[in-house]
Amino acid sequence: MPRWILFAVLVAGAVVFLMFRARTLSTRSQQAHQAVEQGALLLDVRTPEEFASGHIQGAVNIPVDQLAQRAKELPSGKAGIVIYCRSGNRSRRAEHILRDKGFDNLIDLGPMSAW
C-alpha cells in the first residue's frame, strides 16, 4: 500500500476520533451543568495549589489522594457529584474511589476545560 494512502487513513481516523471525543466532552459538559443546576456537588480533585490558582465557581476541593479518607464529607443524596481535575486522569480515579465507597450518582466531567 502506498504511504500516502496509509497516511490519509491515519489522518481520517484521527479526525473521526477527535470529533467523537469533542462530542462526548460536550455531552458530558451538558450533563454536568444540568446536574449542578439541580444541586449536585462540584468536586475538584486537584491539589490545593492547583485549586487556589483557579477553579470552577462553587467547587469543593478534596485532592484525589485524600478522597478515600474524606469521602464521608461528601453528600450521598440524589443530587449527585460532578468530579473534575486538570486532564481527566484524577477525576477518573476519583470516580472509582467513590463508587467503591458506595456513591452511585457520579458524573466524571474529566478536565476542568470541559466545563
Catalytic residue numbers?
Answer: 85
pTM of the full predicted structure? 0.77
Evaluate whether residue 18 is within a structural domain.
Answer: no
Query: 5-55 pLDDT, tens per residue?
Result: 776 666 655 555 555 555 555 788 999 999 999 999 999 999 999 999 999
If we measure between CA atoms, which residue out of 52, 100, 90 comes closest to residue 109? 90
What residue has cell string 472509582? 96
- Domain holding 42, by residue range, is 29-114
Number of domains in the chain: 1
Backbone angles phi, psi at 81, to 5 degrees: -140, 130
CATH number for the domain including 79?
3.40.250.10
pLDDT of residue 3: 79
